[in-house]
Structure 1
């Protein structure tokens, strides 16, 4: 054997050992711990104050309630659904000084539970392994915002709900309903489940009963209509600087338009765009979102009615509906990118090759999001051309994800028809030959 042949023979077993090591649960859990430790460190020490909402706003709300001054969502309208207060309050367990660390620990525990369910206890399948590695890469690409907002509570709930949807729709409906009462966006996943699942009546019944129970408890606590205050609070918001629909106005600022600017809204505590046509555009986002959801939902209904299986259409339908919420949203906060994880993980866990394109696109959205917030957020507020270009590219990627999702749904609805047509032609040919 030559020296070269010996080296090649020794390298091959080493590569195989590396593959086997990375394919195991130990490697996955080690990577999980490393990614979450890095995200926690970034939240605590990275520039741009990525944990700002947690340390200032969430802590303030919980301290007001703890001191008996104001129960937000009960005594006054609130920007979030009422169950969002549960993880905020839980993070006060070790006192205000440890609030940020407790929050990060709680988010890590929730992610860990979802991660354990994703990889399961039995033999680790290749598809689940691919989905798990992608989720960890997505979290790392997204950066500190992946743990630093209330949305981080909803993602593991939504992810587990989607993973259980095919076989245990009632459990899935319960998890998605709870997530919706933390942050509204998982309602899109509930809608997708209702559209595609044959046991949709059970899904609706569980979601409705749980919602009635949550509202009933709030009413007994004296909330009145404040329990629905998040609807009015969101409707009254202006066009936030990160919203995809605001990109044209940001380019106007770049070009030197004197009547367009970014200002801080002290009532909502966000930076918003002001200028000609902005209010009209902001008012049109809600009907645009409704129309987008209706259009995507109809494509999903078409696929379901033509016999496409749940496993084929749930992930792309959920992804398309989530992207509609992101594109037609006048808020557009950077944490919205976390929403992409649940449908993409489901897609990779069921059909990784088919979901390669959206997985790559969602990963790029995560990278651009981390660059914009927290690191270059100040440049975006100043409408720096580079930052506005990044936001434009991110918005274009979201459009590409929506196009992919609708196309995948349309193909799923056509495949069964095509197979039936081929079968009919084959049967006709056999009859003629006979």
Structure 2
């Protein structure tokens, strides 16, 4: 027995030493470097599948600088006007696609490094959350590196980490992110819903959001955009169900027994969509369902924050997670890279929540990692078999989409519990004043 005790003590000491190294500053820096080296090498191995959109960004930027013809300013675009900033920046001082792709990747990695720095410095569990974030990015695979979502995901994370202490700054960052790609607007909705008074709402949400929006729209209008400053919304209305979206799951699964269901390439917006009148009707319905869902979630968060004001910041994180999930579940687009939006609220919650709240965020943290892995298998690993209707790759995306729905229901259920007065074991985040 004494020898077994000594052996156990040594094992415990060894694990403690390893944990201390991993959670050290240099441990996290090493993890960041290794994770991003792996992701970059993986991205290069897939080449066109990952950097296909980047080549389009390069074409837009080069055409703008060389011919003076810019998206939004001169023609309708599928992205908000603010997306011109990250898309144009890598083209400054570079020539050719390779140089653009290198600068694009470097910018995304640098922004993610900034987000990781904020995360690791967040008490009480920021360094543990930083490791979860790195694991999440590796699990999701390289898709986020070659998309605008790789820009907005770190902005979502930074804004959520600043929300408790600097809500006005958090709103400004999230609003800028929303003008690049709409998803960070979920943080603005959450901040608005959990504002403690009308003066704070005006000061911390309305004013910074209005200033950032005025700057972005003002610059677009000054550049000659006119009504095209809002063209992103019209562009989205013309789309039907993207093949891998949650709402397309039934149509995708039905391919197992119904050969008439077709998935075809849309060469205007460069994506695969489900064809047919039923799919178009569902897509049209989602145009209404999605904004209604966001409004209802905002109202639910407002009720929860009023019922339990001491949990306002926890409600904010739950609200952001639920809204981001709704933006995927009720979205007729549903691209794989959208899953990058889900990491920030979980990482922020793992950093800010005390040990007593582990039971609240640990299951969704595991669930989001599972969704990320299945998403990487869907794209880029086996997208061809999925489009080809191979049974195993019809089932796996369906399971992923089911996981997204379960995560949304779980977040909504937590908010409902708080809003109706149930007192779940959800202690106040220790950094909330």
**Structure 1, 185-194 or 13-22: larger mean CA deviation:** 13-22
3-state DSSP of counterpart to 1:95:
coil
Q: Distance in 2 between matches of 1:105 and 1:406?
A: 37
Asked if 1 retains the 8 angstrom alpha-carbon contact of 2:78 and 2:232, the reply is: yes
Aligned to 1:295: 296
1:21-420 aligned at under 5 Å gives the runs 21-46=21-46, 49-54=49-54, 56-93=55-92, 94-96=94-96, 97-120=98-121, 125-198=123-196, 199-202=200-203, 203-258=205-260, 260-308=261-309, 309-351=311-353, 353=358, 354-415=360-421
Q: Offset of 1:418 from its aligned partner?
A: 9.8
1:308-343 Cα distance to aligned partner (Å, 9 max, x none): 332220111111111111011110100100000121
**Structure 1, 41-50 or 249-258: larger mean CA deviation:** 41-50
Asked if 1 retains the 8 angstrom alpha-carbon contact of 2:39 and 2:141, the reply is: yes
3-state DSSP of counterpart to 1:329:
coil
Q: Offset of 1:12 from its aligned partner?
A: 3.6
The runs of 5 or more residues in structure 2 that have no matched partner are: 426-433
Q: Distance in 2 between matches of 1:310 and 1:418?
A: 14
Q: Give the paired residue count.
A: 414
Asked if 1 retains the 8 angstrom alpha-carbon contact of 2:265 and 2:272, the reply is: yes
Q: Offset of 1:75 from its aligned partner?
A: 0.5
1:228-254 Cα distance to aligned partner (Å, 9 max, x none): 111111111111111111111112222
Asked if 2 retains the 8 angstrom alpha-carbon contact of 1:306 and 1:416, the reply is: no
3-state DSSP of counterpart to 1:183:
coil
Q: Distance in 1 between matches of 2:252 and 2:48?
A: 21
3-state DSSP of counterpart to 1:271:
strand
Q: Distance in 2 between matches of 1:102 and 1:380?
A: 32
Q: Distance in 2 between matches of 1:302 and 1:52?
A: 44
Aligned to 1:428: none
Q: Distance in 2 between matches of 1:214 and 1:84?
A: 10
Using structure 2 for the length normalisation, give the TM-score: 0.91
Q: Distance in 2 between matches of 1:70 and 1:224?
A: 15
Asked if 2 retains the 8 angstrom alpha-carbon contact of 1:22 and 1:28, the reply is: yes
Q: Higher Cα Rg: structure 1 or 2? A: 1
Q: Distance in 1 between matches of 2:8 and 2:299?
A: 56
Q: Distance in 2 between matches of 1:350 and 1:9?
A: 31
Asked if 2 retains the 8 angstrom alpha-carbon contact of 1:245 and 1:330, the reply is: yes
1:77-103 Cα distance to aligned partner (Å, 9 max, x none): 110011212112222233223121211
Q: 1:323 to 1:40 in 2, by over 3 A?
A: same
Q: Offset of 1:294 from its aligned partner?
A: 2.6
Q: Distance in 2 between matches of 1:34 and 1:417?
A: 42
3-state DSSP of counterpart to 1:147:
helix
Q: Distance in 1 between matches of 2:328 and 2:151?
A: 18
Aligned to 1:424: none
Asked if 2 retains the 8 angstrom alpha-carbon contact of 1:312 and 1:412, the reply is: no
Q: 1:267 to 1:48 in 2, by over 3 A?
A: closer
Q: Distance in 1 between matches of 2:362 and 2:41?
A: 30
Asked if 2 retains the 8 angstrom alpha-carbon contact of 1:47 and 1:374, the reply is: no
3-state DSSP of counterpart to 2:141:
helix
Asked if 2 retains the 8 angstrom alpha-carbon contact of 1:47 and 1:375, the reply is: no
**Structure 1, 170-179 or 14-23: larger mean CA deviation:** 14-23
Q: Distance in 2 between matches of 1:138 and 1:149?
A: 16
Q: Offset of 1:296 from its aligned partner?
A: 1.8
Q: Offset of 1:287 from its aligned partner?
A: 1.1
Q: 1:263 to 1:16 in 2, by over 3 A?
A: same
Q: Distance in 2 between matches of 1:5 and 1:173?
A: 54
Asked if 1 retains the 8 angstrom alpha-carbon contact of 2:155 and 2:184, the reply is: no
